[in-house]
Structure 1
């Protein structure tokens, strides 16, 4: 749960004013320290950059010598020119709640990830305006029109790709970021897509999702942002027009065009496009992956398998192609090949989104807005100074909750297999395809080893292909590494769980060090002729999965015992939230909903409400979905986030299915304060502005 420091303001204190008139989050006595810290961090930025920084200098009206600085972060502001940024600063210069101070200057900082420059607009009040940019060395440079175009596009991409999904995870990472919708009408959409077209082939400079090793023309933050915008707003025609124009310059753009056509239910055109494009670029892995995804969605696993295999051949160093092949094998219930494919996935170090590195402020103010006041959100929330929820140590040390990037996706694939066949069968399949430590030790004892030999290497072929020479020799792996020991520690309550702890495999790093000379006796290891060495990271995933299942089993056993005795099973709200996430990871949907509902019975949690929302989606419960959306939108606004692409998408889909009139009527009939309902009406109005399907009904 969120434990931010809060400024509790009694009702009726005149907070019905707009957020712009009173927004002050961080305050520091030494002015410009936060700006200097941002300048120093520029050389370490690797992604799209942090949210924009807005810094104001204020002084008492009666004493012009003492100045203090206040600042906050923001996304979604129009950064196409210095004038638009200065206009935002000007909206912050007057506060009716603070009549003793005046704002004398302001700086708006917005990062340009194309040119690695921090664009800045400095406003003197009253009077001058200066725009310039700061490079990674801290030197001043001239801000040109070309740089402003790049900055505008980066600002839109940050607003979409760094937005919160409704669960509150992104909101909680950085305290007090104002999040606005960067594209509020068709005019702004045209401006955004026009900039995207002009800079499209520079997109690989913007890095990419953590699952992509090397950014390319169709896999980077620019293409991800465009696709997310189209998916969120349903503006398929605009997306198709953009990619059709770009496709004339580079046929590889066909994969993006096909994805948008599939979103728009233009599947016949998409299939024809993919077929025609593959005649020109037969080894385009993005197109092959798109084909595999489409076939898989239609239940044509055999066709998807061929496409996925070709995609792996085309891009063997990319995680996404191997992950797709593993997914296809899972859908075909070929568990051994799924595990072997998963073992071959190239894993990348997770590169997190850029976040601000600010000095500790002297004071933090987080005013609560009247529009977001809702009793059920307020009740039970921890106040500043209250002790944190008790969380059992076993729940605190769950490793799977911290996975990101390729390791998160690989773990999801492993849990899908476990959910389909059970833990015991998963261990059996594991022992059939990977060399286990005990059998390796026994086999090694029976094979005479020449005195001059110190080890051997292993033939590691791609999964799904038989290998008649795959044998192993090497140093004795009986001593576990520190990493294995840490992941194998399941706690004192291990005996409470009936689960069998996974036997240690022989990891490839242990057996094949790359330094030993070949062992001529390796041909004697006939038992391992068709087995592979398990990568250490996958070995660790099995240990982490065991820990997840162990804790889950103990939880369900305890609950059953308490129910038999007609006793209440008590957990703190945070513990229920963790258990809900645990069950969700393990694909136990009903149990996750049960935990999330128990959490909400104690106090409001955006993550729990987001989980319950999935239940309403599954049941096609329109009223339940809207009830959850109203509360999530209000909670987001409470933390200054006026825009969440995921919540906008859900509102749009409801309007598409039920019609705008029905959706608005259900929202209005809800027994909640009108100011709270108006926040949801704003999302509905946005759908009407973009003429989404159903909005004219």
Structure 2
């Protein structure tokens, strides 16, 4: 139609400026903020008709108003003029960009900065506050304000696809650009980070923390992910944390973590020792110390520190998570269950996706699949498993529980659970005895109106009284759990006896109870009521729900593996639909069965390309244990249905060659099958080199085997031209930014 942009997605408005009005109404709900919004007004000189459109964009440098205005100016050269090439007489009048507004949210100042550009004309810069009113921004705006805007913009670009469980990673019509395209921009960004770091807690906490701190916030989470775990550039983080260490002693934990991930354990030990000598109860430093001990296999020392940590920070989920991990590694299942039951739980905030009116029409670059062969699988028609919807600390707690089952077994863990927590049959039995009429209880001082508790806890208080904070399992608890006074309950149905937690000390003395309670206990069977719950706690309802979810997942997983074994035994073909393979892959990944998850995702992507399944498979293929998969790799097929063979056969050789060849073969199959998948992934990740899952997978191979080795393996394989160019650009990026392993 001549009113669209080449290679830029657009959503056309029904009413002029409705997207700007909708964004203004949602500003009070912003935290870090949604992607930047670019609103354009196009005019046809012949018909005097105005057309308005908008698109989202991430990665534009927001260090000044000039850089944002320059982005709108570059769009004037992207107008689609294909309609004007049909002939001189038949060519319609072209559309031209008349004006544009670029909206970028400053998460520190909580202002939506808007740069209005008129072509030809000038540039007007202003902001909109949470009340929807304009705030003037003059030419003399402080450098700190633009530093805040620059950091906010880069954080949104790097965290857009941070959660692999969410697909798609952004709203429709999102254009992704490299947030830090060169080393000069990266240097300016790091300088801006140093300026705004004391106020980083204002951005909110990372997904595992409820209250943001100087060491646990969105800025730290994004920096560690971008420079550390995704690319291995720990040297950049080491220099940054060194420069910021003077602000607070707790930043030594971030520096020690960077040392450990860079294989500089000696420096980490020295730094942690010096910091703990001065600040022995610094929570982040204790967490880093526990990580170091677990890395070295010192589980007994890690457990000692974990107990100290939960006493120092009883309301932190990470503290109880570490304690649960330590007990799990030592095989102390009762104490692991008690520690998990004491975890403070909360759900992380949802994504900040903008809510816009329905567009009049949309325009996307011509990467659509006309045959519909590579669309996502619809797994909603299958029986839903509730565990897939877990988020935040609940998903972490589910992983801890699944790890316990993997080590101890389902039956044994249920037996330990029956010894630790009050079960439904026990509660029902005591309830029935309590309801039996007994006049002796009333004659001993308990009146008809007394609110006598049904379950007496160890401290002499009713079990329905909520505890103010989680309680650390003490040494007395370990001794009590080692020799329980009651046998395991036969019925181990995972149902909580009450929603409220019990008090902690189980060593109850009947004579220390109030007279009315002691009389009631004698009336309904002596010390039977007290003995039944003397060494047990009440299970939290959320943990009860996790047991039920885990049971549902294990039931489906066991049935799946039994069917596969039956098919192998009788040499039958085991067939599933694409949606079912993706469904089973999600299940296996959730249970920690990575080999089964990879096999299921392989089967899914061979039958029909699914972006979600392919991206999750790519993340699993770069795990260190991927080369140990003892499963047949299916032969992939191309868009025309013909099989696509590997161009480099697997040959026996030294262990390193075998590992590199096997890993790259998986990555090559994913990138090569089908041949159009890079075009489809372009709709999700655009032309951005990094961060995206494709670059992260290549960087992990470079970190492990070196850039030269990976380059040689890529050159040895005859990839299609678009895929080869994409991989070559990623390798050049790794060399330019000196990703770990670039010189090996």
Return the TM-score normalized by structure 1.
0.84
Call closer, same or farther: CA 1:638–1:392 in 2, change over 3 Å. closer
Call closer, same or farther: CA 1:360–1:411 in 2, change over 3 Å. same
Equivalent position of 2:582 in the other structure: 577
Shift of 1:519: 4.5
Call closer, same or farther: CA 1:391–1:358 in 2, change over 3 Å. closer
Equivalent position of 1:592 in the other structure: 597
Conserved 8 A contact 1:247-1:254: yes
Alignment partner of 1:127 is 2:121: yes
Alignment partner of 1:380 is 2:373: yes
Shift of 1:252: 1.5
Shift of 1:303: 1.1
Call closer, same or farther: CA 1:511–1:230 in 2, change over 3 Å. closer
Call closer, same or farther: CA 1:168–1:434 in 2, change over 3 Å. closer
Give the secondary structure class of the aligned counterpart of 2:43: strand
Conserved 8 A contact 2:231-2:700: no
Shift of 1:696: 4.2
Conserved 8 A contact 1:30-1:68: no
CA distance in 2, matches of 1:158, 1:98: 36
Equivalent position of 1:416 in the other structure: 403
Equivalent position of 1:196 in the other structure: 193
Shift of 1:119: 1.0
What are the superposed Cα offsets for residues 149-181 of structure 1, whole Å, 9 maximum, x if unpaired?
10100111111222356x583435522322222
Conserved 8 A contact 1:337-1:464: no
Call closer, same or farther: CA 1:504–1:238 in 2, change over 3 Å. closer
CA distance in 2, matches of 1:612, 1:382: 16
Query: Quick one: higher RCO (CA 8 Å, sep 6+), 1 or 2?
Result: 1
Equivalent position of 1:60 in the other structure: 44
Partner of residue 438 from structure 1, selected from 421, 425, 438:
425
Conserved 8 A contact 2:36-2:56: yes
What are the superposed Cα offsets for residues 518-566 of structure 1, whole Å, 9 maximum, x if unpaired?
9454674112111110000111111111111122223333444455565
CA distance in 2, matches of 1:391, 1:355: 22
Partner of residue 45 from structure 1, selected from 30, 34, 44:
30
Partner of residue 207 from structure 1, selected from 204, 208, 213:
204
What does residue range 304-453 of structure 1 map to in structure 2 within 5 Å? 304-369=302-367, 380-382=373-375, 389=378, 392-394=381-383, 397-446=384-433, 450=446, 451=448, 452-453=450-451
CA distance in 2, matches of 1:579, 1:241: 43
Equivalent position of 2:736 in the other structure: 689
CA distance in 2, matches of 1:646, 1:60: 41
Shift of 1:612: 3.9
Conserved 8 A contact 1:78-1:84: yes
Call closer, same or farther: CA 1:379–1:334 in 2, change over 3 Å. same
What are the superposed Cα offsets for residues 372-395 of structure 1, whole Å, 9 maximum, x if unpaired?
x9x9x9872249xxxx7475542x
Equivalent position of 1:14 in the other structure: none
What does residue range 489-528 of structure 1 map to in structure 2 within 5 Å? 502-509=493-500, 519-520=517-518, 521=520, 524-528=529-533
Q: CA RMSD in A?
A: 3.0
CA distance in 2, matches of 1:91, 1:191: 23
Shift of 1:363: 1.4
Equivalent position of 1:671 in the other structure: 718
Runs of 4+ in 1 over 6 A off after TM superposition: none
Conserved 8 A contact 1:58-1:102: yes
Shift of 1:401: 0.5
Call closer, same or farther: CA 1:597–1:325 in 2, change over 3 Å. same
Give the secondary structure class of the aligned counterpart of 2:184: helix
What does residue range 221-232 of structure 1 map to in structure 2 within 5 Å? 221-231=218-228, 232=230
Conserved 8 A contact 1:122-1:130: yes
CA distance in 2, matches of 1:92, 1:362: 21
Equivalent position of 2:255 in the other structure: 257
Alignment partner of 1:636 is 2:627: no
What are the superposed Cα offsets for residues 241-293 of structure 1, whole Å, 9 maximum, x if unpaired?
22122112321211111111112211111111111111222111111011111
Call closer, same or farther: CA 1:502–1:364 in 2, change over 3 Å. farther
Conserved 8 A contact 1:466-1:530: no
What are the superposed Cα offsets for residues 284-331 of structure 1, whole Å, 9 maximum, x if unpaired?
111101111111121111111112122211111111111111111111
Call closer, same or farther: CA 1:593–1:239 in 2, change over 3 Å. closer
Alignment partner of 1:142 is 2:129: no
Give the secondary structure class of the aligned counterpart of 1:92: helix
What are the superposed Cα offsets for residues 612-646 of structure 1, whole Å, 9 maximum, x if unpaired?
44346421324225415746766532434323355
CA distance in 2, matches of 1:554, 1:593: 18
Call closer, same or farther: CA 1:421–1:147 in 2, change over 3 Å. same
Partner of residue 105 from structure 1, selected from 84, 99, 102:
99
Call closer, same or farther: CA 1:638–1:541 in 2, change over 3 Å. same
Shift of 1:86: 1.3
Shift of 1:333: 1.3
Conserved 8 A contact 1:55-1:69: yes
Conserved 8 A contact 1:31-1:69: yes
- Which runs of 5 or more residues in structure 2 are unaligned? 85-93, 454-460, 481-490, 504-513, 522-526, 628-658
Partner of residue 288 from structure 1, selected from 286, 289, 295:
286
CA distance in 1, matches of 2:165, 2:54: 22
Shift of 1:579: 0.8
Conserved 8 A contact 2:161-2:170: no
Shift of 1:129: 1.3
Shift of 1:341: 0.5
Equivalent position of 2:606 in the other structure: 601
Shift of 1:359: 1.2
What does residue range 68-107 of structure 1 map to in structure 2 within 5 Å? 68-93=51-76, 94-95=78-79, 96-97=81-82, 99=84, 100-107=94-101
Partner of residue 466 from structure 1, selected from 468, 472, 476:
476
CA distance in 1, matches of 2:409, 2:366: 48
What are the superposed Cα offsets for residues 454-493 of structure 1, whole Å, 9 maximum, x if unpaired?
42623864335535999xxxxxxxxxxxxxxxxxxxxxxx
Alignment partner of 1:552 is 2:560: no
Call closer, same or farther: CA 1:638–1:679 in 2, change over 3 Å. farther
Give the secondary structure class of the aligned counterpart of 1:216: coil
Q: How many residues align?
A: 634
Give the secondary structure class of the aligned counterpart of 1:636: helix
Shift of 1:592: 1.8
Conserved 8 A contact 2:418-2:492: no
CA distance in 2, matches of 1:545, 1:334: 20
Give the secondary structure class of the aligned counterpart of 1:23: coil
Conserved 8 A contact 1:56-1:107: yes
Give the secondary structure class of the aligned counterpart of 2:75: coil
Call closer, same or farther: CA 1:110–1:310 in 2, change over 3 Å. same
Conserved 8 A contact 2:173-2:364: yes
Conserved 8 A contact 1:501-1:546: no
CA distance in 2, matches of 1:128, 1:547: 62
Call closer, same or farther: CA 1:139–1:526 in 2, change over 3 Å. same
CA distance in 1, matches of 2:273, 2:550: 40
Call closer, same or farther: CA 1:229–1:528 in 2, change over 3 Å. same
